[in-house]
Amino acid sequence: MRHFILFLILGFITSCASVEKETGQEGLLLVPASFRDLQGWDKDRQQDALIALERSCARILKRAPTESFGAPPVGGTYGDWQPACRALPISTTSEQARDFFERWFTPWQAFAEDGKKEGLFTGYYEPELHGSRIKTGTYIYPLYKKPDDLVMVDLGAFREELKGQRIAGRVHDSYLKPYEDRQKISEGHWPHNDKVLVWVDNPVDSFFLHIQGSGRVSFKDGSSIHVGYDGQNGHIYYAIGRELIKRGILDKDEVSLQSIRHWLETHPKEAPELMNLNKSYVFFKEIENKAPLGGENVPLTPERSLAIDRSKIPYGIPVWVDIEPPVENTKPLRQMMVAQDTGGAIQGAVRGDFFWGHGEKAAYFAGHMKAKGQYWFLLPKK
C-alpha cells in the first residue's frame, strides 16, 4: 500500500511541475537593495526582533549545514545561516542590533511575478475562549485532536521546488482520498467524534480559533490552557468575508474580523451555512509554551512574528516591513520582523499576516488591519 501511495503522490507532483516558473518559487522575485532603502531603519527597535530571531536560530542551528534552507530565489543551505545565528547578540541596544543585521545580512526587496512590490497585510492575534474538559449544557462545541488516520504529505520532501506545499487526506482501499470537510466534521458525520481536546461554549469563537491557529481556553476554576495547530483536513481555506460581500451583506471596506463576527452572532440560524463554506478544518493540541507556537514550531513574538506564504518563503528569514497605518490615526509599521508562521489565507509573494499578541488591543488591531505594504528579506551575505 505504501508503494501505491508514493506513486499517487508522485503523480500529483508531476502534474504540478508544469506550472513552475524560472524563479523556482512561483511568483516570487527578489531584487538586491541596501539598508538605505529601508525607510525608518534607524528608528526601529531592532533588538526586539532579535528575540524572535533567536527562537528561529535555535531551530536553524540544529539542522545539518548541508541541508537546503529553501528553493530559489531564496535558496542556500542552513550552513549559510548558521554563522549569523551563532553571532546573535544576547543583550543589545538598537544601534548594536542594527550593526548586527548590517554586518551579517543584505536586504533584497520582494516582488510578485507581475512586478508589483505592494501586497496585502492583515493581522491576527491569540484569542481566548471559555471551555470545559467535559461536555455540559453550555460547553457543547468540540475542539478536536488530530485523528490518527489523517495523512499529511509534505510535497517538499519529494521535490525541492514544492517545499512548503502540502496535501492531506485519508487512505481508503489503498487510495489517498480527501478528508471530511468542515460541515461533515461539525455535524458529527465522521468516525472520530470521540477525539475531543476540549469543549467550548461558542461556535463563532471556535470558528475564529481555526483561522487564528492558536489560542487560550479558560476554565471556570480560573485555570487555562494554550491550544495550537496540530493538523488540517486538507481542504482549501475560503474567506467567508468574500461571501458576505458577494451577497451584498457587507461592503468591501466594511469587512473586518469584528463585522464578520457581529453578523455571525446576530444570525445564528444562517451562520453555520456560511461558516461551512470554508471547508478547511483545523485540529488542535495542548501546548506547554506560554506563547502560542507558529508554523515554524517556535513561540511567536507579539508584533515581531510575521505569517507568510510558506510555499514561497522559508521560515526563519528576517523581514523588514513597510506597511501603511494598520488602523486609522496610527503610524505606518516600519520594522524588523521574522517569518515564523503561515495560514490558509496567506497566499502570495508579497502577503503577510502581522501577529499582534493577546488581549483587547491585539484583537482590535488584528480585526481591522487590512493595509498595503511591501517587504525586504534579509539574506546572509555571501
Residues 53 and 93 in one domain: yes
Q: What is the pLDDT of residue 133?
A: 96
Q: What's the domain range around 354?
A: 23-124+294-380
Residues 257 and 327 in one domain: no
Q: What is the pLDDT of residue 360?
A: 87
User: Which class for 14: exposed (0-12), middle (13-18), buried (19 or more C-beta within 10 A)?
Assistant: exposed
Residues 64 and 119 in one domain: yes
Collect the ranges in the chain with pLDDT lower than 70.
Answer: 1-26
Residues 257 and 308 in one domain: no
In the sheet with 282-287, reading across from the earlier edge strand, the strands are: 141-144, 196-200, 128-132, 214-218, 224-232, 282-287
Instruction: Report CA Rg, the chain.
Output: 21
The three cell numbers of residue 246 are 458577494
Instruction: Count how many domains the chain has.
Output: 2
Could you tell me which residues come within 8 angstroms of residue 374 by beta carbon, excluding any fewer than 6 positions away? Answer: 109, 110, 117, 118, 119, 321, 322, 323, 350
Tens digit of each residue's pLDDT (9 = 90 or more) over 50-79: 999 999 999 999 999 999 998 778 878 999
Q: What is the pLDDT of residue 110?
A: 95
Residues 325 and 263 in one domain: no
Q: What is the pLDDT of residue 18?
A: 31
Centre a 10 Å sphere on the Cβ of residue 295 and count the other Cβ atoms it contains.
20
Task: Please report whether residue 101 resides in a domain.
Answer: yes
Task: Please report whether residue 333 resides in a domain.
Answer: yes
Task: Please report whether residue 94 resides in a domain.
Answer: yes
Q: What is the 3-state secondary structure (H, E, C) of the chain?
A: CHHHHHHHHHHHHHHHHCCCCCCCCCCEEEEECCHHHCCCCCCCCHHHHHHHHHHHHHHHCCCCCCCECCCCCCCCEHHHHHHHHHCCCCCCCHHHHHHHHHHHEEEEEEEECCCCCCEEEEEEEECEEEEECCCCCCCCEEEECCCCCCEEEEHHHCCHHHCCCEEEEEEECCEEECCCCHHHHHCCCCCCCCCEEEEECCHHHHHHHHHHCEEEEECCCCCEEEEEEEEECCCCCCCHHHHHHHCCCCCHHHCCHHHHHHHHHHCCCCHHHHHCCCCCCEEEEEECCCCCECCCCCECCCCCEEECCCCCCCCCCEEEEEECCCCCCCCCEEEEEEEEECCCCCCCCCEEEEEEEECHHHHHHHHHCEEEEEEEEEEECC
Residues 331 and 246 in one domain: no
Task: Please report whether residue 2 resides in a domain.
Answer: no
Task: Please report whether residue 220 resides in a domain.
Answer: no
Task: Please report whether residue 176 resides in a domain.
Answer: no
Q: What is the pLDDT of residue 151?
A: 93
Could you tell me which residues come within 8 angstroms of residue 9 by beta carbon, excluding any fewer than 6 positions away? Answer: 153, 155, 158, 167, 176
The enclosing domain of 306 has a CATH number of 2.40.40.10
Task: Please report whether residue 216 resides in a domain.
Answer: no
Could you tell me which residues come within 8 angstroms of residue 361 by beta carbon, excluding any fewer than 6 positions away? Answer: none
Residues 33 and 108 in one domain: yes
Task: Please report whether residue 308 resides in a domain.
Answer: yes
Residues 320 and 372 in one domain: yes
β-pair type (105-112, 370-380): antiparallel
Residues 250 and 329 in one domain: no
Residues 47 and 91 in one domain: yes
The last residue of one of the domains, among 277, 302, 328, is 277
The pTM of this model reads: 0.75
What is the distance between the alpha carbons of residues 33 and 179, in angstroms, rounded to a whole number? 44
58 to each of 21, 54, 89, 96, 296, how far by Cα in Å? 32, 6, 13, 21, 11
Residues 52 and 117 in one domain: yes
Q: Cα 348–350–354 angle (5° rounding)?
A: 100
The last residue of one of the domains, among 219, 250, 277, is 277
Q: What is the pLDDT of residue 26?
A: 61
